[in-house]
């Protein structure tokens, strides 16, 4: 049933490590063929080889910067002859923390393209095909940072807020066409990207989620939509959405300081 609704191919943008890797391994176990897209060639090809050696599914890879102007053309080049029934947009983790005015405009616009432009382009392209076929699924990976302006990662949090709104609207529009859409909201997650940032993973107030558990929750709730807060964080999301906005921003600033140790 899973492959019938979401197969025979899935495309994972940001599919080389962490949560993307867990998605790939779970989908391979479900018999869904994979298109893995990521910027770094070495981990991408290593994961693809690992899946090919342990399963009979097909795996295609594309080494691609999702912020580049030619992104969609290159994605089309590796998917034009296949039926992509599931899109997972897992790209866009924060790469560093910096005050908005201290970052370069080049880096700022890169984050806009990664968090806003690229998921919009891919959701439009693959969503059109899914609507026409009357089946499919789209998972947009969000963040608790998208519930309030997050000092030190303002553009990242703005992109994740956009991702949540995109998921909610798409869920409503595509539901009549049997296309499931889920905005999957992550908190602190134990991934290589978070390790590279040096975030504290042993703070009892911020217990990290594990990538495999994140993926399990995603597939349990994909058909429900439009939003699922991973790891029982619904209460925290509701709190951030109901308190005064100044308090919400202050809460995000304190959380970031605690995570940085």
As given in the structure block, the two tokens for residue 182 are 């889920």
The 10 Å Cβ neighbour count of residue 225 is 23
The 10 Å Cβ neighbour count of residue 149 is 17
Give catalytic status of residue 156 as yes or no. Answer: yes
Query: Judging by beta carbons within 10 Å of its beta carbon (0-12, 13-18, 19+), is residue 17 exposed, middle or buried?
Result: buried
> What DSSP element (H or E) covers 203?
none
The active-site residue out of 89, 147, 156, 233 is 156
Rg over alpha carbons for the chain, rounded to the nearest Å, is 18
The 10 Å Cβ neighbour count of residue 11 is 25
HSE at residue 251, side-chain half, CA atoms within 13 A, is 17
The active-site residue out of 4, 160, 172, 175 is 160
- CA–CA gap between residue 34 and residue 54 (Å, rounded): 14
Q: How far is CA 167 from the centre of its chain?
A: 11
The dihedrals phi and psi of 93, each to the nearest 5 degrees, come to -70, 150
Strand partners of residue 143: 186
Burial 76-107 (b: 16+ CB within 10 A, else e): eebbeeeebbbbbbbbbbbeebbeeeebeeee
Give catalytic status of residue 89 as yes or no. Answer: no
- The residues carrying an active-site annotation are 156, 160
């Amino acid at each position: 049933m899973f492959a019938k609704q979401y197969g025979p191919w899935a495309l994972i943008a940001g599919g080389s490590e962490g949560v993307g890797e867990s998605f790939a391994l779970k989908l391979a176990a479900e018999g869904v063929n994979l298109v893995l897209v990521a910027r770094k060639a070495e981990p991408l090809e290593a994961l693809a080889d690992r899946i090919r050696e342990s399963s009979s599914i097909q795996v295609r890879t594309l080494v691609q910067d999702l912020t580049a102007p030619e992104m969609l053309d290159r994605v089309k080049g590796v998917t034009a002859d296949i039926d992509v029934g599931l899109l997972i947009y897992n790209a866009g983790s924060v790469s560093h923390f910096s005050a908005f005015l201290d970052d370069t405009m080049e880096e700022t616009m890169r984050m806009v393209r990664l968090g806003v432009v690229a998921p919009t382009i891919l959701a439009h392209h693959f969503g059109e095909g899914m609507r026409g076929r009357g089946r499919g699924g789209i998972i947009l990976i969000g963040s608790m940072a998208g519930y309030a302006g997050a000092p030190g990662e303002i553009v990242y949090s703005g992109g994740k807020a956009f991702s949540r709104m995109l998921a909610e609207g798409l869920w409503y529009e595509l539901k009549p066409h049997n296309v499931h859409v889920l905005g999957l909201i992550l908190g602190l997650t134990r991934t290589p990207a978070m390790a590279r940032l040096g975030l504290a993973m042993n703070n009892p107030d911020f217990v990290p989620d594990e990538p495999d558990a994140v993926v399990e929750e995603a597939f349990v709730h994909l058909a429900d939509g439009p939003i699922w807060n991973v790891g029982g964080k619904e209460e925290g999301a509701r709190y951030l959405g109901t308190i005064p906005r100044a308090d919400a921003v202050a809460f995000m600033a304190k959380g970031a300081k605690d995570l940085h140790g």
